[in-house]
């Protein structure tokens, strides 16, 4: 299995809602990433987990809360988001050769 | 710093011509240089990479060259085809806190005109 699976594919939420994005990989990779991607822009690093511990937080607002329940799962909890947070959220895992394996992304719209 | 500069931001070529995209990095700790292709509406995918102990790597129509002294690396696509149209991102992952801080260049939108 060489896939990174993200759910949901699409999410629409209001500014007062609480929702979660989920990411799963079964390749045995020990580092997992969250990126935010706006249209016509590169993926922007948000968080990195290594061996289930948060290693990198790129000064992301606290309305985004990551969680790594185990080495295969990565969640991104969303609360009190703003319309400007609407974007494609990409999860990725780091292979042994240095390659990042991306999921298809969750397209988030905040109303 | 850990910036990766990428040029050009857009590139249009005739089918069959070559395309070259250049990246410059700042962190000398980087030793792995991948290139990703992102087609419209799809996820980024690795197309070729190079490590700091080699100067050039080729895979069919694509090649990557690295000049570690000057801290720049380039993607070369020969005999371009319409399916090469996509956005290309370089990266220069930096070893950090037991993992890699994976920052992407600003991207190059390549259009191959039939």
- Chains A & B: contacts with CB separation below 8 Å: 62
Residue of B nearest to A101 (CA): B45
CA angle A63, A68, A72 (to 5 degrees): 140
Instruction: Say what the pLDDT of residue B2 is.
Output: 60
Residues composing chain A:
111
Using a CB-CB distance cutoff of 8 angstroms, which residues of chain B are in contact with residue A45? 101-103
Q: Kindly state the average pLDDT of the residues B44-57.
A: 95
pLDDT tens readout for residues A96-105: 999 999 999 9
* Residue B95 C-alpha, separation from nearest chain A C-alpha, in angstroms: 11
* Residue B93 contacts A where some CB pair is shorter than 8 Å: yes
Nearest 5°: phi and psi at A109?
-120, 125
Split at pLDDT 50, 70, 90, the class of B3 is: confident
pLDDT tens readout for residues A53-105: 999 999 999 999 999 999 999 999 999 999 999 999 999 999 999 999 999 99
* Number of other CB atoms surrounding residue A15 within 10 Å: 13
**The two structure tokens encoding residue A60:** 């992301």
Residues 6+ apart with CB under 8 A from B102: A33, A45, A48, A92, A94, A100, B91, B93
Residue B2 Cα distances to B76, B96, B99, angstroms = 23, 11, 15
pLDDT at B1 over 60: no
Chain B neighbours among A 22-51 (CB < 8 Å)?
31, 33, 40-43, 45, 48, 50-51
pLDDT tens readout for residues A15-40: 999 999 999 999 999 999 999 999 99
Contact A31 B106 (CB under 8 A): no
Q: Kindly state the average pLDDT of the residues B47-68.
A: 95
Mean pLDDT for chain A overall: 96
Instruction: Say what the pLDDT of residue A1 is.
Output: 65
* Residue A88 C-alpha, separation from nearest chain B C-alpha, in angstroms: 10
């Amino acid at each position: 299995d060489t896939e990174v699976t993200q759910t949901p594919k699409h999410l629409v939420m209001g500014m007062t809602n609480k929702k979660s994005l989920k990411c799963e990989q079964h390749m045995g990779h020990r580092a997992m990433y969250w990126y935010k991607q706006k249209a016509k822009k590169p993926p922007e690093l948000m968080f990195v987990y290594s061996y289930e511990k948060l290693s990198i937080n790129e000064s992301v607002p606290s309305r985004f809360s990551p969680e790594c329940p185990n080495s295969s799962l990565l969640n991104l909890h969303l609360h009190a988001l703003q319309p400007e947070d609407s974007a494609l959220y990409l999860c990725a895992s780091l292979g042994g050769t240095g390659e990042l394996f991306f999921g298809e992304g969750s397209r988030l719209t905040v109303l | 710093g850990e910036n990766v500069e990428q040029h050009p931001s857009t590139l249009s070529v005739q089918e069959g011509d070559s395309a070259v995209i250049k990246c410059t990095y700042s962190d000398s700790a980087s030793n792995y240089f991948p290139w990703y292709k992102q087609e419209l509406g799809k996820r980024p995918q690795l197309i070729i990479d190079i490590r700091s102990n080699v100067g050039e790597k080729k895979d069919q129509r694509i090649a990557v060259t690295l000049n570690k002294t000057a801290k720049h690396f380039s993607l070369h696509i020969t005999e371009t085809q319409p399916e090469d149209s996509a956005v290309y991102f370089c990266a220069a992952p930096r070893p950090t806190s037991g993992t890699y801080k994976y920052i992407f260049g600003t991207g190059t939108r390549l259009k191959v005109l039939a």
